[in-house]
Amino acid sequence: MLENVIGGDFSHPGLKIRAGLPGLNPLLMSICADRCGGYPLRRNISAIGEIMGREWRSDNSPGDDGAIIGIPRSGVPMGDGLKIAFPGYGYLLSNDGGDRMDGMPILPDDLIINEPNLLIADSVIVTGTTVALTLSAALSRARAVKRIVVFSAFAAVDGVANLLDVFPGLEINIGAFAETRQNWDLHRWKSSVTLKGIPNFGELVSRP
């Protein structure tokens, strides 16, 4: 069992909690315990994305017209896993998350998204702000999107609720809920909200 998982606190028709999928719970426990990072962590996060993506594909039969947007840094391996489950989908990265470049748009200004299915990949949802910014940028460039689905390994209840308040038609697939805590960010020199028991995936996935 995952000690920090909480269940039954929030429900919504667009929310699916996927921890019970075959093979997924051991992967969630593994990335929770990971403090070394690097390739093994990227591989496990990618596997989580692939398992969740295949399940969503099986449930919905969305076809081969879609786009995947990964949010750097830790959303990239999640997006890699989705790409395995959806080999015909385009794949791009947003200029958001831990590797955001100041002065650059979140998505290219000349980008046009014509595909009907839009998948957003991030490994954790804390407040929902990063996903919301990427999604808003994508929708401003979309012409024919019919379904928008977010995939994340772990999420805070408030982060999911915030996203569904702003985007009520959103579909969200998470591995499990996790509690939040205040954490002192040495890089930004301020307190920030993080997920209890979940390591800093953004820093760990960047290791060799």
Express each pLDDT in 100-119 by its tens digit.
777 788 888 889 999 999 99
Burial of 2 (0-12, 13-18, 19+ CB in 10 A): middle
Q: What's the domain range around 162?
A: 15-179+186-193
Torsion angle defined by CA atoms of residues 177, 18, 131 and 78, in that order, rounded to the nearest 10 degrees:
120
60: in domain: yes
User: Is 79 inside any structural domain?
Assistant: yes
Q: Please state, in angstroms and rounded to a whole number, the distance separating the CA atoms of residues 194 and 199.
A: 9
Q: Does the structure show a pLDDT above 70 at 187?
A: no
Residue 102 lies in a domain: yes
Q: Is residue 6 part of a domain?
A: no
The pTM score is: 0.91
Instruction: Answer for the pair 174, 156: CB distance below 8 angstroms, yes or no.
Output: no
Q: What is the per-residue pLDDT for 125?
A: 96
The answer to whether the beta carbons of residues 123 and 78 sit under 8 Å apart is yes
Q: Is 20 contained in some domain?
A: yes
Structurally, the chain folds into a number of domains equal to 1
12-60 pLDDT, tens per residue?
889 999 999 999 999 999 999 999 999 999 999 999 999 999 999 999 9
- Would 38 be classed as within a structural domain? yes
ω into residue 100 within 30 of 0, thus cis?
A: no
In a domain, 49, yes or no: yes
Tell me if 3 is assigned to some domain. no
Sign of CA dihedral 114, 117, 46, 88: negative
Encode pLDDT of 49-76 as tens digits: 999 999 999 999 999 899 999 999 999 9
- CATH code of 30's domain: 3.40.50.2020
Q: What pLDDT is recorded for position 157?
A: 93
